[in-house]
Amino acid sequence: MIQTLFGSLDEKKEPSFFERMKEAVTRTRESLAERIDDVVSIGKEIDRNTLEELEATLIGADLGTTTTKEVLAKLRDKADRKQIKDVGELKRLLKEEMLAILAATGAPPARVQKGPEVILVVGVNGTGKTTTIGKLAQVLRGQGKTVLMCAADTFRAAAIEQLEIWGQRTGVEVIKTKPGGDPSAVLFDALQAATARGTDYVIVDTAGRLHTKTNLMLELEKMRRTAQRIIPGAPHETLLVMDATTGQNGLQQARQFTQSAGVTGIVLTKLDGTAKGGVVIAISRELGLPVRYVGVGEKAGDLLPFDPQAFVDSLFA
Amino acid sequence: MFENLQEKLQRAFKSLRGQAVLSEENITEALREIRVALLEADVNFKVVKDLIDRIQAKAVGAQVMTALSPGEQVIKILRDELVETLGKDTAKMKFSSQPPSVILMAGLQGSGKTTTSGKLANWLKQGGHRPLLVSVDVYRPAAREQLKVVAQAIKAHIYEGEVGEANTATVERLAKEARREAIITGCDVLIVDTAGRLHIDEQLMDEMQLLKKLLNPSEILFVADAMTGQDAVRSADEFHKKLTLTGVVLTKMDGDARGGAALSIRQVTGQPIKFIGIGEKYDALEPFHPDRIVSRILGMGDLLSLIEKAEQQIDKKKAQEMATKALSGDGFSLEDFREQLRQVRKMGSIKSILGMLPSVGPLAGMQKAADQVDEKQINRVEAIIDSMTQHERLHHEVINGNRRKRIARGSGTSVQEVNNLLRQYAQMRKMFKQMGKPSFARRMAGMKMPGR
């Protein structure tokens, strides 16, 4: 003000009112951690570092920036209403947020009245489809169900042999064709056999495929149509097998496979490593797809039902 | 591969355009976008933080000395940093002076070790080597069978051996036997495919160390999935600590994963990415060019790869013949047209070819157009020509109404589509004839090139 009186209007030195406004606005758009800074004023013990740490934890667990941002924003809303005393409380609220996302997903499909129930297993290359099928057969056999496996991965070298070994281990017959054969044709055979025998479950192994390969995705659509023709309502469950090490590309995988193959649930494999598999939270949030099972090893018994609480706890472990 | 990151960065830089000076303030927005883009591309968050800090330091300090626009300047700095991180040169394979050179393949389950082993053997064969493959994966069902099928497909030598019990002693024995086999059969490279293992599985990591001690490999390649997220740093780091890796193969790069893992792994191991896997066929392995990938990330296109691909895939003699023919009096037959379509498609889908063009500058629209390319349309054109008789292909003028109907039926298209194709073909033919005339060349020579 005084400067104006003295006629010194050097714009460069003193920020004008508008510049200050702009600065203030910019400040409110500061980075995520800084925005959550408001929380700090609520609980004295929670400082900026804590929030940065939480953000790093979530991003480091592969939740992705969008989901992380959203979860932390919701946390702030809660923090505004409640008094947050310490870091433990903050983490508890954060876990609640993530559990809410995971809980909002679909329930497992109702058991089919009259079998066979068809489970189609899909995913990109190397996620562990065949291994998961072996373990799933073990789970179902343990429940006293009859199971057939269908070796519809006719593409990858020795995929059929791999499934056959799992068949031997779990005492389940494998319906197969020659390498290079038509996956829909072997699916047709398997479903006919299962119908004739009154088998409870048919688990269908498919070739790993990148979700960007249009013709291979069309092949999955064809398999679905084939299944439907023989058993109305089939496939009753389509499981997308996803590697826990998968990053943000997992979202794209889930989107594309859901579009082509009608995914109804996810199996998260290789959780026995150090990867957290947080991308499934992003997937649940965006697509409402539930996680059904987790793979935790290479043995037949290493498939567990998904436990959201344990999963969310592990993100902070 | 990296299209999405590319778009995001371009959006970030749009806000920078037209600004006079590069200051801490005006690059904040761009840096924030870069941060999000890199994180979404699965670059590890610590690596991202590091990169952002370095870019910021350089960007703010460099403002006076350059004539580039602020946007261009940040792009340049970012580009240089990424190239720096990925390593500047294309990595070469190391061979030992005493054959056989041993290449040990290591990695997590499902990263693509067996397929990559096959591709690598194929690549070495093409380079005049005599590779021998061996799988010491005695654990996963049918893993050894898989490598055998792969070896047969590429006609490479393989040492099968007998497994007996699935334990480390067997692994060790198989490795020794394979090396002896390589020496006896005069194979100069031994590729050892190993079982996928978690970096925290001590027992299996010990087994890897044992293999290393036993075989003294000239290359220990870490095979990693391009879709890997934040955990890439941890697994790569552990493998590197235990084995001292010599290089990385990044697989499944033909998907739409942005491949930020490349940056993370390189940063944490300091070892070069030597190859990328770009498909399920055995020739789908390419040497890794950091500068090209970075150019791609930054929207400068991958023209070099495109040119190389064209050179490899297009039969030069055929192309020359066709050009001569098209421009001479004989003209350009439908047969030639089909051949040309096939040549172009050998390079990959039209979409992927357009995707390699720069998304900035005069070709900016082309990448967008790539999304609208209907590959099926090209299939239909080929089907229509396929449904013609040889005579019709060479003498298009005989194709009357009845023949058109037949062709449409045969190719599963409509008479209208056949008509369209014939019309386009006639136009092309006319154009080529014009170009072949000496007067055309004179006219071209006399013309001023725009923008010169």
B63: domain CATH number is 1.20.120.140
Residue B451 lies in a domain: no
| Range A51-62 average pLDDT | 88
Its pTM stands at 0.74
| Range B16-35 average pLDDT | 71
Binding-face residues of A in 252-271 toward B, CB within 8 A: 252-253, 270
Q: Which CATH superfamily is domain A17-104 in?
A: SRP54, nucleotide-binding domain (1.20.120.140)
Binding-face residues of B in 113-142 toward A, CB within 8 A: 114, 139-142
- Provide the CATH topology of domain A117-307: Rossmann fold (3.40.50)
Residue B374 lies in a domain: yes
The residue of A69, A125, A163, A241 whose CB has the most chain B CBs within 10 angstroms, and thus the best one to mutate to test that interface, is A125
Check if B146 contacts A (Cβ < 8 Å).
yes
Using 50, 70 and 90 to split pLDDT, how confident is the model at B249? Answer: very high
Greatest Cα pair distance in chain A: 100
Taking alpha carbons only, the member of B151, B87, B82, B139 closest to residue B115 is B151
Examine the pLDDT at B5 and tell me if it is beyond 90. no
- A187 exposure class (CB count in 10 Å sphere: 0-12, 13-18, 19+): buried
Check if B378 contacts A (Cβ < 8 Å).
no
**Average predicted confidence (pLDDT) for chain A:** 84
* ipTM computed for the complex: 0.81
Boundary-marking domain end, from B86, B109, B127? B86
Q: In the structure encoding, which two tokens stand for residue A241, read together?
A: 């097998």
Q: Which of A120-134, B139-153, B199-213, B348-362 has the lowest mean pLDDT?
A: B348-362
Examine the pLDDT at A42 and tell me if it is beyond 50. no
**Average predicted confidence (pLDDT) for chain B:** 81
Spell out the alpha helix ranges (H) of A231-307. Answer: 249-261, 279-287
Q: Which of A64-78, B48-62, B66-80, B150-164 has the lowest mean pLDDT?
A: B66-80
pLDDT in the model for residue B164: 87
- Of residues A31, A125, A165, nearest to B141 (C-beta): A165
Using 50, 70 and 90 to split pLDDT, how confident is the model at A8? Answer: very low
Q: Which of the two residues, B394 and A168, has the higher pLDDT score?
A: A168
Query: In chain A, which residues have their Cβ closer than 8 Å to the Cβ of B234?
Result: 274-275
pLDDT in the model for residue A58: 92
- Reported as a single tens digit per residue, the pLDDT across A183-204 is 999 999 999 999 999 999 999 9
Residue B93 lies in a domain: no
Strands of the A265-269 sheet, one edge to the other: A173-175, A147-152, A201-206, A117-122, A237-243, A265-269, A291-295, A303-305
Q: In the structure encoding, which two tokens stand for residue A53, read together?
A: 């740490």
pLDDT in the model for residue B92: 83
Q: Which of A48-52, A94-98, B90-94 has the lowest mean pLDDT?
A: A48-52
Q: Which of the two residues, B302 and A122, has the higher pLDDT score?
A: A122
pLDDT in the model for residue B258: 73
Check if A32 contacts B (Cβ < 8 Å).
no
**Segments making up each domain of chain A, as ranges:** 17-104, 117-307
pLDDT in the model for residue A53: 83
Mean pLDDT: which of A78-82, A282-286, B20-24 is highest?
A282-286
Examine the pLDDT at B330 and tell me if it is beyond 70. no
The answer to whether residues B248 and B397 belong to one domain is: no
* Chain B residue nearest residue A210, CA to CA: B255
| Range B293-307 average pLDDT | 56
Closest CA–CA distance from residue B280 to any residue of chain A (Å): 9
Boundary-marking domain end, from B42, B61, B86? B86
The CA angle B326-B332-B336, to the nearest 5 degrees, is: 105
The answer to whether residues B152 and B256 belong to one domain is: yes
Domain count, chain B: 3
Parallel, antiparallel or unpaired: strands B273-277 and B285-287: antiparallel
The CA angle A203-A209-A213, to the nearest 5 degrees, is: 135
Boundary-marking domain end, from B245, B270, B300? B300
- Reported as a single tens digit per residue, the pLDDT across A208-261 is 999 988 889 999 999 999 999 999 998 999 999 999 999 999 999 999 999 999
Query: In chain B, which residues have their Cβ closer than 8 Å to the Cβ of A252?
Result: 256-257
Q: In the structure encoding, which two tokens stand for residue B27, read together?
A: 């690059």
| Range A296-317 average pLDDT | 90
Q: Which of A169-178, B100-109, B180-189, B260-269 has the lowest mean pLDDT?
A: B260-269
- Domain of residue B37: give its range: 3-86
Closest CA–CA distance from residue B427 to any residue of chain A (Å): 32
- Reported as a single tens digit per residue, the pLDDT across A262-271 is 999 999 999 9
pLDDT in the model for residue B446: 47
Write out the H or E segment, with its range, that includes residue B399: none
**Percent of chain A residues past pLDDT 70, beyond the cut:** 81
